[in-house]
């Protein structure tokens, strides 16, 4: 058992992470795949997980932190019940994805990468999700919404608030 900082995750989660780290130890380019796996295991990448990855791969913590903050698909905060991903691939961007992001930030009162105060939604941006014909596109979990306009955003959000009841 280690410091209290690490007790919110199970030994099993850390064990899985150590196995992933072991696969990539000493190999170049391992940092991003390890962080991907770590996010799948823990749901997000808090400081203690970043430290474990840095020590395990023998890379500076500043490098790990740099990668985590550079890529929008990595999150340092716990995710909400629903993760909303706005596609910022080229087709979606050209068709106004930035307006969709802005509408969501306003509707949910969060910035990209953040989770709403009630823990219901996390707002993220993604790369192309392969539905370019429907641009601009957003995903809520596994659901895909296309041909969006900013005024449709409240309706999409409401759908998930209703299903909470």
91 binds ligand FES (CB under 6 A): yes
Query: Helix, strand or coil for residue 19?
Result: helix
The two tokens of residue 13 are 């989660």
Stretch that binds ligand FES, among 41-49, 62-70, 84-92, 98-106 (CB under 6 A): 84-92
- Residue from 7, 10, 90, 161 that binds ligand FES (CB under 6 A)? 90
Dist. CA 32–CA 30, nearest whole Å: 6
- Residue from 59, 132, 140, 150 that binds ligand FES (CB under 6 A)? 132
**Strand extents, DSSP E, 1-90:** 82-87
Residue 145's DSSP bridge partners are 138
Q: How far is the CB of 126 from ligand FES (least distance, A)?
A: 8
Q: How far is the CB of 131 from ligand FES (least distance, A)?
A: 4
The two tokens of residue 33 are 């795949």
Stretch that binds ligand FES, among 11-19, 38-46, 125-133, 149-157 (CB under 6 A): 125-133
144 binds ligand FES (CB under 6 A): no
The two tokens of residue 148 are 């969006």
Position with the least CB separation from ligand FES: 89
- Residue from 6, 54, 129, 140 that binds ligand FES (CB under 6 A)? 129
55: DSSP letter = H
89 binds ligand FES (CB under 6 A): yes
64 binds ligand FES (CB under 6 A): no
* Residues in contact with 67: Cβ distance below 8 Å, sequence separation at least 6, in sequence order: 31, 32, 35, 74
Is 53 in contact with 21 (CB distance < 8 Å)?
A: yes
List contacts with ligand FES (CB under 6 A): 87, 89-92, 128-132, 135, 137
């Amino acid at each position: 058992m280690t410091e209290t900082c690490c007790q919110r995750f199970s030994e099993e989660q850390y064990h899985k992470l150590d196995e992933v780290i072991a696969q990539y130890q000493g190999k170049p380019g391992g940092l991003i795949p390890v962080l991907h796996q770590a996010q799948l295991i823990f749901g997000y990448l808090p400081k203690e997980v970043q430290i474990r990855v840095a020590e395990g791969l023998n890379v500076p913590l500043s490098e790990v932190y740099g990668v985590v903050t550079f890529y929008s698909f990595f999150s340092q905060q716990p995710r909400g019940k629903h993760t909303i991903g706005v596609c910022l691939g080229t087709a979606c961007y050209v068709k106004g994805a930035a307006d969709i992001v802005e509408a969501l930030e306003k509707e949910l009162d969060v910035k990209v990468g953040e989770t709403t105060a009630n823990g219901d939604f996390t707002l993220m941006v993604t790369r192309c999700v392969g539905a370019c014909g429907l641009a601009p596109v957003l995903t809520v979990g596994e659901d895909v919404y296309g041909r969006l306009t900013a005024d449709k955003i409240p309706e999409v959000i409401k759908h998930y608030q209703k299903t909470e009841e």
